[in-house]
């Protein structure tokens, strides 16, 4: 009896648990209508095709936690991906690992610059990153110089996304590593806890000796680094480097965070939430064409599901707060 209650309490008492329920319900409904959905291949396809958004969701989690936002990420992705693509196309760099390092470095630098303007220059994050959104996207076009890299130009670089270790696709391995590292860092390290501290109460964090602007600089740099990594990944996954890569998709990344219960005002959110949020988005994208919903209605259905999940999330949060208050009264 007591145990039952605590499970129930756990379910209503945690945003992640309510998301997990949504996820399970979605999966059950979809696999009833389309049995091929829950096969290993289908899931692996889904993770691979959504890896880029899922990885950037992690970076966005950090940025949102300190109360910021970064809308320059897909431009950073395009710049680093395009650079990697052009380097392969013209045969300047052919080593896959080195290309990843270059893309990650470019991304990190992009994020670092944005972070500098925001943390040291005290510019509003949305304004600063809007500027960088145009700068980096423009630089991607300059790097491309009206050319693009397609499957034939990319040689061995595109093999990365096709290869696998122990039967698991390389892209999925990268995805899992990113999530594992973030989970540990955010939960159990000083750095992770400092991010939460700055996000929930910047002044208090500052007084207690945390260098708040350094923390801010760090989260944007990490965001850029991940976007750079995703640039190389995207080029490898789709065997195509175009300067307009993922144009406008930063919204999906932010949406994944919000669905996952990450607060837009900072301080609240978890890696598990980010994972569940981006998984729900990925499942919706994968499943809508599968279950036979009329093509023109797919976007509407997507919007309705997202809203429903968020409303459910908010209600869970209220119940949770109420319970916590009750606990205090007693």
Partner 1 sequence: MKKKLISVLLCVSLAATMLAGCGSEKAASSNADAGNDAGQEAPAESGSTEGGGAEGGKTYAIVTKAAGNPFNEKTADGFKEVIEASGGTAIIKHPEAPTADAQVSVIQSLISQGVDSICIAANDENALQAALEEAMAAGIKVCCEDSKTNPDSRQVFVNQAGVNEIGVALMEAVHDITGGEGQWAVLSATSQAANQNAWIEAMKKTMESDEKYSKLELVEVAYGDDEPQKSTDQTQALLAKYPNLKLICAPTTVGINAAAKVLQDEKSSVKLTGLGLPSEMAEYIGDDDAHSCPYMYLWNPIDLGRLGAYTSIALVDGTITGAEGDKFTAGDMGDYEVIAADDGGTEMILGAPFKFDASNIDEWKDVY
Under the criterion CB under 8 A, does residue 315 sit at the interface with partner 1? no
CB of 162 vs partner 1, minimal distance in Å: 6
Among 15, 137, 202, 286, binds partner 1 (CB under 8 A): 286
What is the closest distance, in whole angstroms, from the C-beta atom of residue 120 to partner 1 in the complex?
Answer: 5
| Segment interacting with partner 1, rule: CB under 8 A, options 45-53, 185-193, 202-210, 221-229 | 45-53
Q: Give, in order, the Cα–Cα distances in Å from 326 to each of 8, 319, 321.
A: 17, 10, 9
Work out how close the CB of 161 gets to partner 1 at its nearest, in angstroms, rounded to a whole number. Answer: 9
Q: CA angle, corner 173, sides to 97 and 243, nearest 5?
A: 55
Q: Name which position in 40, 92, 295, 330 contacts partner 1 (CB under 8 A).
A: 295
The verdict on 31 binding partner 1 (CB under 8 A) reads no
The answer to whether the Cα torsion of 254, 256, 257, 258 is positive or negative is positive
Q: Is 136 exposed, middle or buried (0-12, 13-18, 19+ CB in 10 A)?
A: buried
* Using rule CB under 8 A, residue 211 touches partner 1: no
Return the residue of 117, 186, 227, 305 that touches partner 1, per CB under 8 A: 117
| Rounded-to-integer distance, Cα 39 and Cα 304, Å | 26
Number of residues that bind partner 1 (CB under 8 A): 38
Residue 12 binds partner 1 (CB under 8 A): no
Nearest to 268 by CA among 14, 12, 7, 6: 14
Q: Does 36 bind partner 1 (CB under 8 A)?
A: yes
- Out of 91, 167, 209, 292, which residue is the one contacting partner 1 (CB under 8 A)? 292
Nearest by Cα to 270 from 187, 201, 174: 187
Q: Is 120 in the site for partner 1 (CB under 8 A)?
A: yes
Would you say the C-alpha torsion 65, 68, 69, 75 has a positive or negative sign? negative
- How many whole angstroms separate alpha carbon 58 and alpha carbon 133? 19
CB of 81 to partner 1, least distance (A): 12
Provide the token pair at 119.
């943390």
239 or 313, CB closer to partner 1? Answer: 239
Q: Is 146 in the site for partner 1 (CB under 8 A)?
A: yes
**293 part of the interface to partner 1, by CB under 8 A:** no
Q: Does 321 bind partner 1 (CB under 8 A)?
A: no
- Dump the DSSP string for 44-64: HHHHHHHHHHHHHHHHHHHHH
Min dist CB 221 to partner 1, Å, is: 15
Q: Evaluate whether 63 touches 231 at the Cβ level (below 8 Å).
A: no
Near partner 1 by CB under 8 A, which window of 22-30, 69-77, 113-121, 253-261?
113-121
Residue 182 lies near partner 1 (rule: CB under 8 A): no
Tokens (6 digits) for 139: 């630089």
Span of 16-24, 175-183, 215-223, 288-296 interacting with partner 1 by CB under 8 A: 288-296
Cβ proximity to partner 1, 20 vs 116, nearer residue: 116
| Residue 105 binds to partner 1 (criterion: CB under 8 A) | no
Residues 6+ apart with CB under 8 A from 135: 72, 75
User: In Å, how far are 25, 41, 204, 227, 235 from 169, measured between CA atoms?
Assistant: 27, 11, 44, 20, 16
Residue whose structure tokens are 């949060």: 317
Binding site for partner 1 (CB under 8 A): 34, 36-37, 42, 45, 49-50, 52-53, 113, 116-117, 120-121, 135, 138-139, 142, 145-148, 150-152, 162, 238-240, 246, 285-286, 289-290, 292, 295-296, 298
């Amino acid at each position: 009896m007591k145990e039952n209650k605590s499970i129930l309490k756990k379910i209503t008492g945690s945003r992640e648990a309510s998301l997990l329920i949504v996820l399970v319900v979605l999966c059950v409904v979809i696999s009833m209508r389309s049995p091929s959905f829950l096969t290993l291949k289908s899931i692996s396809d889904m993770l691979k095709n959504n890896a880029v958004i899922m990885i950037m969701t992690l970076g966005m989690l950090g940025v949102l936690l300190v109360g910021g936002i970064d809308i320059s990420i897909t431009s950073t992705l395009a710049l680093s991906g395009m650079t990697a693509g052009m380097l392969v196309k013209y045969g300047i760099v052919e080593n896959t690992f080195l290309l990843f390092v270059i893309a990650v470095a470019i991304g990190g630098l992009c994020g670092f610059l944005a972070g500098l303007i925001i943390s040291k220059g005290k510019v509003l994050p949305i304004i600063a990153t809007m500027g960088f959104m145009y700068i980096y996207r423009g630089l991607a076009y300059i790097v491309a110089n009206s050319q693009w890299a397609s499957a034939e130009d990319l040689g061995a670089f595109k093999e990365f996304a096709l290869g696998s270790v122990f039967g698991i696709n390389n892209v999925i391995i990268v995805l899992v590593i990113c999530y594992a590292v973030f989970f540990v860092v955010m939960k159990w390290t000083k750095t992770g806890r400092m991010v939460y501290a700055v996000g929930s109460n910047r002044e208090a964090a500052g007084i207690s000796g945390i260098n708040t602007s350094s923390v801010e600089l760090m989260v944007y740099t990490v965001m850029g680094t991940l976007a750079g990594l995703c640039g190389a990944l995207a080029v490898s996954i789709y065997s195509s480097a175009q300067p307009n890569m993922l144009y406008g998709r930063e919204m999906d990344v932010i949406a994944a965070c919000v669905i996952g219960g990450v607060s837009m005002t900072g301080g609240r959110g978890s890696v598990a939430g980010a994972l569940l949020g981006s998984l729900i988005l990925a499942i919706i994208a994968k499943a809508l064409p599968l279950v036979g919903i009329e093509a023109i209605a797919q976007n509407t259905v997507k919007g309705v599901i997202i809203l429903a999940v968020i409303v459910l999330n908010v209600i869970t949060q209220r119940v949770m707060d109420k319970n916590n208050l009750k606990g205090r009264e007693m």
